[in-house]
Chain A
Amino acid sequence: MADRAEARDAPVVAPIGNKQASEAKMSDASANGGPVLAADGTPLKVSLRRAERRLRLRAFLLTAPLLGFILLTFIAPIGDMLFRSVENEIVADTLPRTVEALKDWDPASGQAPDEPVFRALYEDLKVAVAEKKHTQVGQRLNYEKSGISSVFRKTGRRIKRMDPDKPLKPQFVNADKDWGDVETWRVIKQFSPRFTDGYFLAALDMQRDAQGVHLRDEKDRIYLTLFWRTISLSAVITGMCLLLGYPVAWLLANLPARTSNLLMILVLLPFWTSLLVRTSAWKVLLQQQGVINDLLVGIGLIDDAHRLALINNQTGTIIAMTHILLPFMILPLYSVMKTVPPSYVRAAKSLGANDWTAFWRVYFPQTIPGIGAGAILCFILAIGYYITPELVGGTSGTFISNRIAYHISVSLNWGLAAALGSLLLILVLALYWAYDKIVGIDNVKLG
C-alpha cells in the first residue's frame, strides 16, 4: 500500500489518465501473482525507482545553485581562515636553503650554527632583499620572538656590503649580534615547517621554548583572560535576559490576545531596529553627561560631582547587550509558554498547592525547553558580538571578537586572528550542536 501511495505522489511516472489504467492493471497483476507492471510495460518497481531518482535529481538541481554559491562565498572563506591558522609557508619559501641547511643543526647543542648555514642564509637573503621579502619574514618571526624583525631589517641593509669570499658568520654577527644567539636560530628552525601550531599555542597563551610547551606567566595571559571574560560576560548577559524575559514572556502568553499582540509590538520593535541605532541610543543614554546621569542628578540620587561611569566599561556592555538580546530570549519563551495548558496550574492549586509550589513544581518545569532554547540562542549570539562591545565596552568590556578584529586590521597578525577565530568557531559550533539537540534546527522560526 505504501508503494502505491508513493506512486501517486510521483507525477512524472505517467499522466493521471494512464495512472488509473496502471492501477487497474496492478490489481489484475497482483491477483495473478506476476510482477506488477506500469502502463508502459516496465515493472512498477523499476518505473517507480526511476521516477524517484528523477525527483531526487530535480530537488538536488534546485538546491545546487545555492549550495555552490554558499560553498564559494561562505564555506571557502571559513576554510581559508582555518587554513591560515596553521599555515606557515613564508619561512620555507623565503629562506629555502637556510631551512635545508638547518636540518642538521640541533638547538640543544647551545651553539649557533656553523659557516654552511650562514652561507645558505646569505644566498637566501640576497634573493629576499632583492624581492623586498626579508622584512615580511622578519615580521612573521617577530610574533614568536620580539626583536627578530629588526635583526632582519638591519641585516637586509648590510647584505650588499658583505664579502662572500670571507667567512660569513663573523660578518653576520657583526651586522647584528643576535645572529650569534642560539635562540634566534631555534626560532627560525622551529618555524621552518610549512605548517605550525604556533598560532594556536599563542591563542591559548602557551609558548614553546627549549623546555617544551607551557603556559605563559599569569600576567601575560591575555587571550585566556579574554576568552574567560567573553564567556563569563555572555553568561551574565544571558542570565539578565532570562531574569527580565521570563516575567514578560509569561505576561504576554497569559494576557488576552488583543492586549498581548499590542504589547508584543514593544518586543518586536527593538528586535527589528538596527543594531547601530540601539547601540547609539545606549551610548547617548549612558554618557557621563547623558540622560540617565542627568536624571539621577536631577532627582538628587547622586550629586553632580559623582556621576556614574556607566559606559566604556563592563556595565555598559552588559546593559546594552541585555537590551539587544532580550527579544531573542522572550520570543522562544513565549512560544513555549503559549503551549502550557493553564488547567495544570489550576489543578495543582485545587489539589492544595500554594502559588509558589504550583509555579515551581508544575508551571516552571514545562517552560524549561523554552529557557534552554532562549538561553543557548542568547549565549551563542553574545559570545560572537563585536559592534556593541567595541562601542560601549571601553577596554574592560571588550570581547574576543574585538581582539580578532584588532589582529586583522591593526597588528596584521592574520595567523593569530585566524587561530582565535577558529577557537571561537569551535565553541559556537559546540553550542549550536547542543541547541540542535535541545530544540532542533528545523524549529528555528522568525518573527
Chain B
Amino acid sequence: MSKLPPYATPLQRGWHYAFRFICALIFLFLIIPILIIIPLSFNAQPFFTFTPEMLRFEASGYSLDHYRDFFTDSGWQNALRNSFSIAPMATLLSVAFGTLAAIGLSSGKMPFKGTIMAVLISPMIVPLIISAAGMYFFYSRIGLQGTYWGVVLAHAALGTPFVIITVTATLVGFDRSLVRAAANLGAGPVRTFFKVQMPLILPGVVSGALFAFITSFDEVVVVLFVGSAGQKTLPWQMFTGLREQISPTILAVATILVTLSVILLTVLELLRRRSERLRGITPS
C-alpha cells in the first residue's frame, strides 16, 4: 500500500507525493510547537521570538538566564517543591487503592461489575472544571479546601482510573493457575500476592503509577480551586504566569517539562515491551 507500484499513472504518482507532503505538514504541526520553545528558552533577550543574533547563531544571542531565573526565583522553587510533595503522595494513594480494586474487578466474580467500574472510572470522564467545582464546594464544607491533604485526595481520585485501566489490562494476560499453584505449594494469599502476582503485573502497576503521577503533576484546574496559595504547584505558577504577564522563564520551565515527558515516554515504552515479553507476546 505504501509503496508506489511501477505501473502507477503520473496522477497517482503525483497524489502519492502530495499525500506524503500533507502528512509531513501535519506532523510538523504536531511537533513544531513543542520543539520551538527549546531554542527560544535560551534566548538572551526577554522576547518570545528569534532575535537576529539567534538566527545568525551568534553566542551572544543565547544564554541560560531564564534557567538561572527558574532555579533562583523563590516563587518557582516553591512551586516545584509543592509539585514534588503533592504528586508522589497522590500517586501512592492511587496506586494502592487502584491496584487492589483492579485485582478485585478482574477476578470475574465481581457483583455489579459494570456499575462499579463506571463509578470508579468517572473521575476520568467528568470534565475537570466540574470536578473542580464540586470538590471546591464539598471540600470547603468539610474543611479540606486550601489544605495539602485536600489537593492530594483530589489528585488521587483523578489518578485512580488510569491505574485501574492499566492494571486491568495487564491482568488480562495473567495466568490464574499460577495463584492456585502457589496456594497448592503452601503460600498464603498475602505471600502469593507479593511473590507471584505482583512481580508479574508490576509493569502495569508502574505504568499506571506513571499515568497517575503525570495526572497530578500536570493538573491545574482542580488545584486552582481546591488549593490555596500554600499549595501553588508548577502548572499553577505557569498558568498565572501565562495569564498575567508572560515571562520568558516559562519557556525554560516548559523545556524542562518536555525533557521530563521524553524520559517518561521512554520508560513507558520499555515497560510495555517488558510486559509483552513476560506475557509471551513478541513485540511487533
* Interface, chain A (partner B; CB < 8 A): 9, 11, 15-16, 52, 55-56, 58-63, 65-67, 69-71, 73-81, 84, 244, 247-248, 251, 254-257, 263, 265-270, 272-285, 287, 289-291, 294, 323, 326-327, 342, 345, 355, 380, 383-387, 390-391, 401, 404-405, 408-409, 414, 417-418, 421, 424-425, 428-429, 432, 441, 444-447
The smallest beta-carbon distance between A439 and chain B, in angstroms, is: 13
Closest 5 CB pairs of A and B: A384-B127, A62-B104, A77-B134, A77-B138, A66-B101
By secondary structure, the A interface counts as helix
Is residue B165 within 8 Å, beta carbon to beta carbon, of the partner chain? yes
Q: In the complex the two chains form, is A421's CB within 8 Å of B133's CB?
A: yes
Contact sample, A vs B, 17 pairs, CB 8 Å cutoff: A11-B183, A60-B111, A74-B134, A77-B131, A80-B141, A81-B137, A251-B19, A269-B265, A270-B31, A270-B34, A272-B214, A276-B218, A280-B37, A408-B136, A444-B165, A446-B162, A446-B165
Is A386 in contact with B225, judged by CB distance below 8 angstroms?
Answer: no
Closest CB in chain B relative to A117 CB, distance in Å: 33
Proximity string of chain B (175-209) to chain A, C-beta cutoff 8 Å, 1 when within and 0 when not = 01001100110000000000000000000000100
Q: Are B97 and A69 in contact (CB under 8 A)?
A: yes
- Total cross-chain contacts (CB, 8 A): 286
A410 to B73, CA, bound (A): 29
Is B243 in contact with A390, judged by CB distance below 8 angstroms? yes
- Whether B49 lies near A387 (C-beta < 8 A) is no
Find out whether the CB atom of A247 lies under 8 angstroms from the CB atom of B33: no
Residues on the B chain within 8 Å of A59, using CB: 104-105, 107, 109-111
Contact: A73 with B154, CB < 8 Å?
yes
Please tell me which one of the listed residues A283, A384, A390 contacts residue B130 in the complex, with CB atoms under 8 A apart: A384
The count of residues in chain B whose C-beta lies closer than 8 Å to any C-beta of chain A is 100
B157 contacts A69, C-beta separation under 8 Å:
yes
Report how far A401 CA is from B29 CA in the complex, Å. Answer: 27
Would you call B268 an interface residue if the criterion is a C-beta within 8 Å of the partner chain's C-beta atoms?
Answer: yes
Indicate whether B86 reaches chain A with its CB closer than 8 angstroms: no
Contacts of B238 in A (CB 8 A): 276, 280
Bound complex: CA A59 to CA B160 (Å): 18
Q: Are B1 and A254 in contact (CB under 8 A)?
A: yes
Contact B27 A418 (CB under 8 A): no
Query: A56 and B129 in contact (CB under 8 A), knowing A69-B157, A247-B23, A274-B235?
Result: no
Residues of B within 8 A of A267 (CB): 30
Across the interface, do B127 and A75 meet the contact criterion of CB distance under 8 Å?
no
Q: A287 to nearest B CB, angstroms?
A: 6
Quote the shortest CB–CB distance from B158 to chain A (angstroms).
8
CA distance A71 to B153 in the complex (A): 12
Per the bound structure, the CA–CA distance linking A342 and B93 in Å amounts to 46
Least Cβ–Cβ distance between A302 and chain B, in angstroms: 15
User: B87 at the A/B interface (Cβ < 8 Å)?
Assistant: no
Instruction: Name the contact of B36 in the complex, choosing from A9, A11, A281 (C-beta under 8 A).
Output: A281
Q: A77 to B139, Cβ gap below 8 A?
A: yes
Q: How far is the CB of B191 from chain A (nearest CB, A)?
A: 15
Q: Flag whether B278 is at the interface (Cβ < 8 A).
A: no
B137 touches A345 (CB 8 A): no
Chain B residue numbers with a CB within 8 Å of A408 are 133, 136, 225
Chain A residues with Cβ below 8 Å from B262 are 269
Does B74 interact with chain A (Cβ within 8 Å)?
no
Cβ < 8 Å to A, chain B residues 140-170: 141, 153-154, 156-157, 160, 162, 164-166, 169
Using A11-B179, A78-B131, A345-B1 as known contacts, say yes or no to A67 and B100 having CB atoms under 8 A apart.
no
Asked if B37 contacts A355 (CB within 8 A), the reply is no
Within the assembled complex, what's the spacing in Å between the Cα atoms of A294 and B50? 9
Q: How long is the Cα–Cα vector from A187 to B130 in the complex, in angstroms?
A: 29
> Residues of A contacting B129 with CB < 8 Å?
384, 386, 401, 404-405, 421, 424
A76 to B154, CA, bound (A): 12
Task: Verify if B229 is at the interface (C-beta below 8 Å from A).
Answer: no
User: Taking the complex as formed, is B116 at the interface, i.e. its CB lies under 8 A from any CB of chain A?
Assistant: yes
B239 touches A391 (CB 8 A): yes
A74 to B235, alpha carbons, bound, how many Å? 22
B272 at the interface (CB under 8 A from A): yes
Contacts of B40 in A (CB 8 A): 284, 291
B101-115: contact bitstring with A at CB < 8 Å (1 yes, 0 no)? 101110101110000
B12 within 8 A of A: yes
Is A76 a contact of B138 with CB atoms below 8 Å? yes
A280 to B247 alpha-carbon distance, docked (Å): 11
Inter-chain CA distance A177–B226, complex, in Å, is: 42
- B36 to chain A minimum Cβ distance, whole angstroms, is 6
- CA distance in complex: A433, B1 (Å): 36
Q: Are A391 and B243 neighbours in the complex by a CB distance under 8 Å?
A: yes
Q: Quick one: which of A254, A384, A418 has the most chain B CB within 10 A?
A: A384
Candidates B50, B93, B242; contact of A279 at CB < 8 Å = B242
Q: Is B228 in contact with chain A by the CB < 8 A criterion? A: no
Task: Report the Cα distance A386→B243, complex, angstroms.
Answer: 13
Q: Are A81 and B133 in contact (CB under 8 A)?
A: yes
Whether A281 contacts B37 by the Cβ 8 Å rule is yes
Given contacts A16-B184, A66-B97, A274-B257, contact A291 B127 (CB under 8 A): no
Q: In this assembly, does B64 line the interface, its C-beta being within 8 Å of a C-beta of chain A?
A: no
- Known contacts A289-B48, A425-B130, A73 near B153 by CB under 8 Å: yes
Minimum CB distance partner of A346 in chain B: B1
Q: Is the pair A80, B134 in contact by a Cβ cutoff of 8 Å?
A: yes
Which residue of chain A has the shortest Cβ distance to B236 in the bound complex? A276
B47 touches A (CB below 8 Å): yes
